[in-house]
Structure 1
Amino acid sequence: MSFMFNPYPYDDPNAVNHICFDPELKKTVSADSLASAKRLTARILEQLSRSPRCIVALDGYITAPILQFKGLLSLQLAQNGISFEEISTQQLFLDSDTLYENFLPYLPEDKSTDPVLLYGSRYEGGYESLMKADEIEKLSSELKSFSESGKGVLILYGYGSLIDTLRRYCTLKLFIDMTQKRTILNIRQGMFTNLGSTKPMPVNQILRRSYYIDFEVVAEFRGKLICNGQIDYYIAGDNPDKMKMLPLTTMKALFETMIGYPLRCRPVYLEGVWGGFYVKRLRNLPEEMKNCAWVFDLIPMEVSIAADIETMELEFPFYCFVQVIGPKLMGKKPAEKFNGYFPIRFNYDDTFHSSGNMSIQVHPNGDYIKGNNELGRQDESYYMVVTGQEAKTYCGFHEDADVEEFIEKARRAEIYGEGFDHDKYVYSEPSVAGQQFLIPAGTIHASGRNQVILEIGSLTIGSYTYKMYDYMRKDLDGNLRPIHTFHGDKVLRRDFKESWVKANLIQKPRVIREGTGFEETIVGQHDLIYFSLRNVRFFEKYEDETTDRFHVLVLVEGEKCLIRSLTNPDRCFEQNYLDMVIVPAGFGPYEVINKGVGKVTIHKTLLKEGFENE
């Protein structure tokens, strides 16, 4: 799953990476919006001392405070007696009706197969395909003319200001970025309607188009600008009053420094109809939260990564971090294999002391979703972190289940609201803490109530959870939750039944490595899934090493550990219970030290040997 339609507005203050950064480079970072505008003005004055003209381009990610920054810059220019003109890119975009027609193949509107219009196909057309060619040419001519004979400053602002056709005339180029959580919250507050759109739309349809079209276009555009050195300044824009501006060289140097450390992302917390209370209490989440159903702890397209350099905190979209430094973070082969995307996603599902199970659901195979421009199948796994009384996990069908009858009853539930006994068809196992379930594409499955699971899955960019049955349950807004039997029926593996599940998907741990005071076991690995799931149990410490692949370590039993480099012990991360930490590829030999009492367990995920051939 990769859609975050309703994140809770909370920034976890504990999810910060403490980085030792070059103090001289830190001085080049502007601490807030006014300081950023003043520093940019000084740069413009410097440019005007050499030339009579300067074109400044202000571009940004979806919902970025471009107008606010332009306003601050305008005030500073006026105070310094600098004449300026302004041009917006708004007129470049195709009209709403044309965009709607162009996107119909990517956002079909068949409610018989997609009741709430959730699904779609990832757009790969690029920025200029959303624009009018004649308007681009017209604006390009204006910029060319100013670059040859204009005087003073021209501010070009808005989405797409830095497309290739326009960027070549710009003197100073800035990109204002946003974390995905803040972007979604801004959309929900009415601050964005979709690129080029002038028609009102329900928020969920704005978000649907954003995920398949707008976010894809702008995120790819951002990556190219940064990786190709095509901007002068990067601005972290989540807080309009505290926009921090970095020269691109400083940003890249910071990222290079960060991958020398074990790293944790900043999670996103979401409420849900089946949400529980374990994580809410553990992490002291706001009392006002109804519950905590999901913790997006390492879903690459959704979370952020924050670095604390002395007294200054900088936060970046994790996907931007991966775009810039991916091969060094993941390893060269993983970066090539997965087209620059971080290949595994991690989150917690919390039903502890909740009102019910997650939905009975299924995910598609590669053939089914590659037509939507996805990179591959959606496989998952559940690791039982905490289990309460009567907790159970659904996985596969009973041996004697009539699967066609199950599908027919699921359809009747969807169409007529007729509930049925899902336990008659879907096999379940009592959940035990430390147990690993593998869930390859096509497996019917669900987490039962009264447990916290660590969910680990393969790379998917869109949302491809097909709910087959949801107990006739309403969502937090009082609407009946949608069911997706049309798609679910097409991808469901009828042959994944109890005996096969027990033999393949619920495995007995097998020891692969032992040392003084520690033992590493494989708790889940299968030919259908390209990553390996391990447990490392120890009293005092153990040693490990990354070379060509990253590790993700989760402290699933114990209070606190220290993860640190054996060659440079200052490069470390203090990990608390349930913290999820990436040890970058190339980090080299490292040790994990138990800072609490008793025996601890680290859940370790890495790409399998030979993953690049799968």
Structure 2
Amino acid sequence: MSSNANNKKSYNLTPTVPIKDWDQYVWQSYDQIASELQDRISRSPRRKTVLVVECYPTVRQEEIIQALQSRLNLTKVIRSEQAAMPGEQIKALIQRYLTDDRVFGYMSPCTVDEFYSRELLQDLKNEADTVEDGLVVVIGFGASLVAEGDILVYADIARWEIQQRYRSKEFGNWRLDNREEETLRKYKAGFFFEWRMADRLKRQLFSRIDYYLDTNAKDDPKMVTWDALMAGLRQTASQPFRLVPYFDPGVWGGKWLEEKIDLPPRENPYAWGFDGVPEENSLYFQYGSVRMELPSINLVFFQPRELLGDRVYARFGAEFPIRFDLLDTIGGGNLSLQVHPTTDYIRSTFGMNYTQDESYYILDSKPGALVYLGLREDADGEAMLRELQLAQEGEISFPAEQYVNTYAANKHDHFLIPAGTIHCSASDCMVLEISATPYIFTFKLWDWGQIGLDGKPRPVHLEHGEKVIQWDRTTSWVEKQLVNSIVQVGGGAGWREERTGLHEFQFIETRRHWFSEPVLHEANGSVHMLNLVEGEEAVVESPSGEFEPFVVRYAETFIVPASVSSYTIRPSGPSEGGKIATIKAYVRS
């Protein structure tokens, strides 16, 4: 049985993927890591060894240096970033991508070598070459530019941990000397510039890496051979799995996540649950007694065909195009009244290839819960924009109901939200958001007078929003096209399948299954992302024994790679004999 299945019959906060047959290729602690590196060095007939430690930005390089210096006999340490351009010069070069906006930039095509001086790189190469005997360590983001090395270690870090280091002001962005800058701007620089550049380098080094180093936990590193990491990625891409979820507070946060998922109480309530965003979430790999954390985007980069399917990979490249997350307003406030950019606008303005189409699946709600969706038939666009501007200036409270439709939000309703449609979840909804991956492109139109947790008004982007609002999406169109457009498409003894969306403008298809007996799901050329939306527990099984039974619980999101030829889902544990439901998303043909 997968380690996802344990005796605790509740939401699993630490799902792991057990990696078979590679336990002897993992090391935990700097003592073990140094011992393995020393053993590797001692097997070489050369008098001199160059150890290159290529680092993702915000890796604690000094921790690694001090650990190696105290355990290995280092002849020289070369910090590669001594050859990087000064921060002010880099900032000037990338300003067109960063822009002056607090939230939005433009997707940068930059590579790390553009920000290194060729002359200074040569100086560092010469410095390494002059050493004739002993161990030379070259370390930094860009260390692989200095030397190919005899041993290449890749030091990695999960995206969520990077954000924590931004928030604590331990780190700013690479070379920008902005540790004290607000987190929004640091995240923007990461999203549009730094992480794109670092991911390009990671993928470029794919065939050269000897060891992979997990640096997420302070002074608690884990290292595996690259072959062991790749074996883990291959195993994961051949079976159902879950990402490691994380939860974040927000001004409109509710109480559902804290109560239903058993999260520790916070002064500011949880607003978001990220349980299906491969670009942000991580994976836990269990090698024997050692649990390693890695960015889940690595699976997309290094197993794209097996994970996504050839058809999806051909269309999107090594990018996971579907996103599931949770939005909790039960006992909280309203989300911002918002709109997402059209494909044409997001491509021309931000350099993205596709846009943030989405939907709200109501996982739970309280009586009186509402969703705002589309414009009223009698909405006057010019008047609406004028009042939104006055509201932004603090002159009035925007009368949203005069312009925007409201619909009762009941459990298991599904509201479709193609880009350009005004929308918002109001208080007392627990939303499972099923969306395309570009996830930060929300143009807030009105934020109900809320102040961000940083004490500042949250950014409102009327100047973008007014350019993408689709003014013809009014009441009659919305009710016909976007509200509970649910059709039964299959069924049998103990089960039925419903098409619940998304809209024809969107590339994602969603199917809901209600069942008390096992339901067979067949591969269709696309990765599947699912959530158990009704019932306490289900088990995912392979009819042909391709993978071990995999247990999921209420509200958990899980992924079935395209390489899985077929699978069944049945009620299990406390749900045996009862009726449960999943919702599944995939990329349409």
Instruction: Give the TM-score band, short-chain normalised.
Output: over 0.9
Per the alignment, residue 41 of structure 1 pairs with 38
Q: Map Cα deviations across residues 372-411 of structure 1 (whole Å, 9 max, x no partner).
A: 2211122111111101011011110011111221111111
Matched, 1:342 2:320: yes
1:59 maps to 2:54:
yes
State percent identity of aligned pairs. 26
Instruction: State the TM-score, normalized to the length of structure 1.
Output: 0.90
Shift of 1:190: 2.5
Please give the alpha-carbon distance, in whole angstroms, between the structure 1 residues aligned to 2:516 and 2:12. Answer: 29
Per-residue CA deviations over 1:438-481 (Å, capped at 9, x if unaligned) read: 111100000011010110111326x2100001111112233222
Quote the residue 1:91 is aligned against: 82
CA-atom RMSD in angstroms: 1.7
* CA–CA separation in structure 2 for the residues paired with 1:412 and 1:421: 11
2:26 is matched with: 29
Q: 1:551 aligns with which of 513, 528, 535?
A: 528
The reply on whether 1:71 has 2:66 as its aligned counterpart is: yes
1:413-442 CA-partner distances (Å, limit 9, x unpaired): 112442121111111110121111111110
Change (3 A) 1:13 1:239: farther
Contact 1:58–1:70 (8 Å) recurs in 2: no
Looking at structure 2, the residues matched to 34 and 417 of structure 1 have their Cα atoms a distance apart, in angstroms, of: 63
Name the aligned partner's letter for residue 32 of structure 2. Answer: A
Aligned AA for 2:139?
Y
> How far off is 1:145 after superposition?
4.6
Q: Could you tell me how far apart the structure 2 residues matched to 1:308 and 1:450 are?
A: 38
Q: Which residue of 1 aligns with 2:108?
A: 123
Residue 153 (structure 2) aligns with = 174
C-alpha deviation, 1:289, in angstroms? 5.0
Matched, 1:156 2:138: yes
Is 1:322 aligned with 2:300?
yes
Structure 1 match to 2:559: 582
SS at match of 2:166: helix
Whether the 8 Å contact between 2:277 and 2:437 is mirrored in structure 1 is no
Cα distance between partner residues in 1 of 2:441 and 2:417: 14
Q: Deviations over 1:217-249 (max 9, x none)?
A: 1122112222xx111100111113221111101
Report the residue type matching 1:67 in the other structure: E
Indicate the residue corresponding to 1:225 in structure 2: 205
Contact kept, 8 Å, 1:96 with 1:199, in 2: the verdict is no
**Aligned residue for 1:509?**
486
Q: Deviations over 1:25-57 (max 9, x none)?
A: 21110022321122112212222xx01111111
In 2, distance between residues paired with 1:183 and 1:342? 20
CA distance in 1, matches of 2:93, 2:50: 33
The code of the aligned residue for 1:35 comes to Q
Letter aligned with residue 404 of structure 1: E
Question: Which residue is equivalent to 2:499?
Answer: 522
**Counterpart-to-counterpart distance in 1, 2:472 and 2:261:** 41
1:100 aligns with 2:80: no
Does the Cα contact within 8 Å between 1:414 and 1:482 map onto a contact in 2? no
Q: How many pairs are equivalent?
A: 574
Matches within 5 A, 1:452-463: 452-460=430-438, 463=440
Aligned to 1:135: 120
> Are 1:386 and 1:453, in contact at CA under 8 Å, matched by a contact in 2?
yes
Cα deviation, residue 271, structure 1: 0.3
Structure 1 contact 518–542 (Cα < 8 Å) conserved: yes
Pick one of 474, 481, 488 that aligns with 2:458. Answer: 481
Equivalent position SS for 2:66: helix
CA spacing shift, 1:526–1:197, aligned 2, 3 Å: closer
1:604 aligns with 2:574: no
Q: Deviations over 1:293-352 (max 9, x none)?
A: 011111121111113344332221011121111211111221221121001111011101
For 1:3, the equivalent position in structure 2 comes to none
Give the whole-Å Cα distance in 1 for the aligned partners of 2:457 and 2:218. 37
List runs of 5+ in structure 2 lacking aligned partners.
Answer: 1-10
Gap regions ≥5 residues in structure 1: 1-11, 610-614
Question: 1:16 aligns to what?
Answer: 15
Distance 2:256 2:104 in 1: 31
